[in-house]
Amino acid sequence: DSRRLIEFGDYLSYVFKNDKLSDGHNAWRAKPGDFKEFDMKDGDPINTILLQEDILKGQRVE
């Protein structure tokens, strides 16, 4: 149903509109044991994160 898809799109826009990280758009080649820390913009709690593979660099998970 197209109405539900529109509602879902509105929900996703709402959930991800307020980026809590001061520098959240990063890509790097992680080596075994590497980790990444980010500074938060404020003390608000988070309940959702979005992790994505940079497909321009090809699949790296085996």
Distances, alpha carbon 16 to alpha carbons 4, 19, 40, 44, 51, in Å = 18, 7, 15, 14, 12
What pTM was computed for the model?
A: 0.49
* pLDDT at residue 3 in the model: 96
5 or 41, which is more confident: 5
CA dist., res. 62 & res. 48, Å (int): 26
Alpha carbon 11 to its chain's center: 15
**What residue segments make up the domains of the chain, in order of their start?**
19-62
The C-alpha atoms of residue 62 and residue 60 are separated, in whole angstroms, by: 6
Q: Tell me the pLDDT tens digit for each residue of 10-61.
A: 998 988 887 777 666 667 777 889 888 877 767 777 778 777 777 777 766 6
